[in-house]
Structure 1
Amino acid sequence: MLISMPGRDQSTEAWSAETFSALARTPVDGPDPVVWPFTPYYTGNPFQSVLYSRFTARNLVAVPTFRATDLITTTRGWPGDVPLVVHLHWLNQVLARAGDDRAANQAVDRHTELLDTLRERGARLVWTVHNVLPHDTRFEAQEVRLREQVVERADLVHVMSPRTPEAVGDWFELPPEKVYRCDHPGYQGVYPDWVSRAEARRRLRIDDGAVALLLTGAVKPYKGIADLLEAVDRVSRARPGRIVLIVAGKPDDAPETRDFVAAAAAHPAVRLLPAQVPDADIQVLMRAADLVALPYRRSLNSGVLALALTFGRPVLLPSNSGSLPVVEGGAALVYRPDGVGALTEAVFGCLEADFAALDRAAAAAGRRIDRTVVSERFAADMRAWADTGVVPGSAPVAEISVDLGPLSGVAAGIPPGAGG
């Protein structure tokens, strides 16, 4: 049987055809199918794959859409008897090509017109708030206006941290009647996990007696990279051989990042892997680390945190992090965000930490955001909302008990909407 798999060059027409093929395969005795395009679709990030992995069982047909503008084509002439929900994720694409304020304003206007067109065609809108503003914001006023326009038109706003309304409050407001909370899912079953701690440390040349901090994901200035390196340097000079910083991820081209990479490459307490980490090697990083460092200058939600908890790794993070509620119960070492001095004190504290207790708490926190628990709850709530229009409550995911079976759907390599 000839099949297709998602790829960056797949056409909008092909996705549309696959959507209606998926509709034809939905059970006749189940609820009416709801088509659920989500955009932008990032093939390198498993978040969306995991989030939608339980949709098929609810007759929700998740449709990957690389660009929001593609929806103008795929929804033209949309049949009125097929419910349509458009799910917006990161909004950074909207202003990505703007070179000045005028172009940024025009980009916001075009996006607003797009949303209005979708609503005129019968679509309901959902927005997931991933960040307060893009980490590399160039046009703050336009980014704020963009979010105000999205919130005004959205029927439901999905937040993953209870701190979200407060965190975004200085820039825009979230109407409480639209807000629905469901946690960032973990990544259980997504990445290999068979390497032992001893083997992982051997590969990275880390002594057993050293405390290893891991900084992973994209290497960017907003992640507090310069302060973290300075803190590790101070601790390393005072306690030689007791601290190691693992840096693994693709650096951006910012001057601060280039300086950081050069300094990290020359530092004896750093293990630097300045490239995107292959999926099979994520386990090496997580098993070698004692703590995952998240010293971000501004953070609302963190996929790296969810990944750390998936592997039962505790984290080091500032008290203003939006992710703090996720690690309640002792899964984190928390410090005041008062500059490199406070971070240095926190890194010194890592040397005396009770890692047995931290590991137990991190494993428990990982179970609370288990990908099956979260994705099952999200699918059930979105089905109920699609049927009734009532925004679901935000009960803790721990209240849901589901079979933690093999990962299904696109998280297992199957395009959303194509599973049966």
Structure 2
Amino acid sequence: MSGGDGPLVVEAEPAFRTAHANPYNARLYTTMAAHGCRVRDLSYLRLFTRRVDVVHLHWPELTFLTGRSWRVLARMLLFRAGLRVARLRNGTKLVWTVHNVASHERRATPALRAMHHRLLVEEVDGLLSLTEGGLDAARNAFPELEGVPAAVTPHGHYRDDYDFGATRSEARARLGIRPEATLVVSVGMIREYKNIPALVRTVVAGDADLVLAVAGKPASPALAEEIRAAASGDPRIVLDLAFQSDEAIATWLRAADLVVLPYRAIQNSGSAVLALSADRPVVVPALGAMQELQDAVGPAWVRCFAGEFDDAELAASAAWATGVARSDRAPLDRLDWDGIAEDTAAFYRQVRGERAAPASVAVHETARS
């Protein structure tokens, strides 16, 4: 019934199926194969019929609250039934990595959201968070989970998932950016909370001698139009409002002097880790876990700002990016995947009661009674 000393069988949602959009999960679970885990994307059928030691959820609001109401209801009922059968058959445990306490977009009806909340607080056996601050936020949002085991396992880097081999000059030549320009970049899928129109307006309203490149697909036509209107034909603004391939993302980042992420709300940021993986300094709001990221990588690589990202902050950030001495490579040792995978596997076993977590895993509570 137990994983024992053999491989732990893990059903993760998601594991590998979203690698084309974000390689985070696939990199985590590929690395975990070396640490005694066999991982597959979640199958409800296997919950009913096969051995499953751990179910690992990442963004449950996306998993359960997406789609028509009848689909949302059916999905939650089927999952909960399958999980309970798996518990009886295998002693299966449910682990949740809390990337964000709440979704950036409101999903489903209030009744279905309440049902989703109950599913989490009644079924989760262990909490993982990317940061200490994220774990505190999860405890505050879900006080019912105060008694479950919890650990911090950081967001790993992206150095093995993108080709960052281009030099700054080579990347700029590909993109048609002047070699001498101070280039500020914001790259990736553009959503409302990322506050990109305000960033564009800040550059347009100021007199900074720089180039701002916004590269990514807006979440809606209205958001795309707002960004274009904010640019007002300013020659300092370069807009590439389309889906960006991995190659294009890497090229924009390697061309940059500075990556600015002026989010209105944020807990963790894969985009910030991506910028650092490309060895580019990043500016983020002093919200969520961003100051923990600064502590982990150093103030030469991560700048946190308070309040609005205005003209004064833009000038200060540009001066910081071009004037502060830093090494050629960002120090990302604390974001190494091998250690993260080892600690995640140890946490699985601790939650299952198979062995204590090693000292490297910050376990915050004893097992639920």
Q: Do they superpose with TM above 0.5? A: yes
CA contact (8 A) 2:151 2:361 kept: no
CA contact (8 A) 1:60 1:383 kept: no
For the residues of structure 1 that align with 2:133 and 2:109, how far apart are their CA atoms? 21
Deviation per CA, 1:196-231, whole angstroms, max 9, x where unpaired?
A: 101112223333443222211211111111211111
Question: Residues 285 and 391 from structure 1, CA distance in 2 versus in 1: closer, same or farther, beyond 3 angstroms?
Answer: same
Question: Residues 258 and 93 from structure 1, CA distance in 2 versus in 1: closer, same or farther, beyond 3 angstroms?
Answer: farther
For the residues of structure 1 that align with 2:325 and 2:94, how far apart are their CA atoms? 40
Matched, 1:62 2:31: no
**Amino acid corresponding to residue 368 of structure 1 in structure 2:** R
For the residues of structure 2 that align with 1:59 and 1:180, how far apart are their CA atoms? 19
SS at match of 2:304: strand
CA contact (8 A) 2:99 2:267 kept: yes
For the residues of structure 2 that align with 1:112 and 1:343, how far apart are their CA atoms? 47
Name the count of aligned residue pairs.
350
Aligned counterpart in structure 1 of residue 304 of structure 2, from 315, 331, 334: 334
For the residues of structure 2 that align with 1:320 and 1:309, how far apart are their CA atoms? 18
Question: Residues 315 and 354 from structure 1, CA distance in 2 versus in 1: closer, same or farther, beyond 3 angstroms?
Answer: closer
For the residues of structure 2 that align with 1:156 and 1:361, how far apart are their CA atoms? 38
Question: Residues 225 and 380 from structure 1, CA distance in 2 versus in 1: closer, same or farther, beyond 3 angstroms?
Answer: same
For the residues of structure 2 that align with 1:293 and 1:374, how far apart are their CA atoms? 27
CA contact (8 A) 1:75 1:121 kept: no
Deviation per CA, 1:82-134, whole angstroms, max 9, x where unpaired?
A: 552111111213111145xx986776555544543443443211111111211
Question: Residues 358 and 52 from structure 1, CA distance in 2 versus in 1: closer, same or farther, beyond 3 angstroms?
Answer: farther
For the residues of structure 2 that align with 1:287 and 1:200, how far apart are their CA atoms? 6
For the residues of structure 1 that align with 2:281 and 2:316, how far apart are their CA atoms? 14
Which residue of the partner structure matches residue 18 of structure 2?
42
SS at match of 1:351: helix
- Coordinate RMSD, CA, aligned: 3.0
CA contact (8 A) 1:316 1:334 kept: yes
Question: Following TM superposition, by how much is the alpha carbon of 1:245 offset from its aligned partner in structure 2, in angstroms?
Answer: 1.5
Deviation per CA, 1:337-360, whole angstroms, max 9, x where unpaired?
A: x33xx4332112123215464643
Matched, 1:84 2:60: no
Structure 2 gaps of 5+ residues are 363-369
Matched, 1:363 2:330: yes
Matched, 1:195 2:139: no
Which residue of the partner structure matches residue 220 of structure 1?
191
For the residues of structure 1 that align with 2:325 and 2:352, how far apart are their CA atoms? 40
**Amino acid corresponding to residue 163 of structure 1 in structure 2:** G
SS at match of 1:51: helix
**Amino acid corresponding to residue 182 of structure 1 in structure 2:** T
Q: How does 1:15-26 map to 2 (within 5 A)?
A: none
**Amino acid corresponding to residue 269 of structure 1 in structure 2:** R
Structure 1 gaps of 5+ residues are 1-29, 397-420
Deviation per CA, 1:283-315, whole angstroms, max 9, x where unpaired?
A: 211111122222112211211111111122111
TM-score by length of 1: 0.74
Q: How does 1:100-179 map to 2 (within 5 A)?
A: 111-122=79-90, 123-139=92-108, 141=110, 142-143=112-113, 146-168=116-138, 171-173=141-143, 174-175=145-146, 177-179=148-150
CA contact (8 A) 1:132 1:167 kept: yes
Question: Residues 64 and 154 from structure 1, CA distance in 2 versus in 1: closer, same or farther, beyond 3 angstroms?
Answer: same
Matched, 1:206 2:177: yes
Deviation per CA, 1:220-277, whole angstroms, max 9, x where unpaired?
A: 1111112111112123xx23xx222121222211623432145448332222222222
Percent of aligned pairs sharing the same letter: 28
TM-score by length of 2: 0.83
Aligned counterpart in structure 1 of residue 315 of structure 2, from 332, 345, 348: 348
Which residue of the partner structure matches residue 52 of structure 1?
29
CA contact (8 A) 1:98 1:107 kept: no
For the residues of structure 2 that align with 1:140 and 1:159, how far apart are their CA atoms? 27
For the residues of structure 2 that align with 1:392 and 1:98, how far apart are their CA atoms? 43
SS at match of 2:84: helix
Which residue of the partner structure matches residue 366 of structure 2?
none
For the residues of structure 2 that align with 1:165 and 1:372, how far apart are their CA atoms? 22
Question: Following TM superposition, by how much is the alpha carbon of 1:383 offset from its aligned partner in structure 2, in angstroms?
Answer: 4.7
SS at match of 1:352: helix
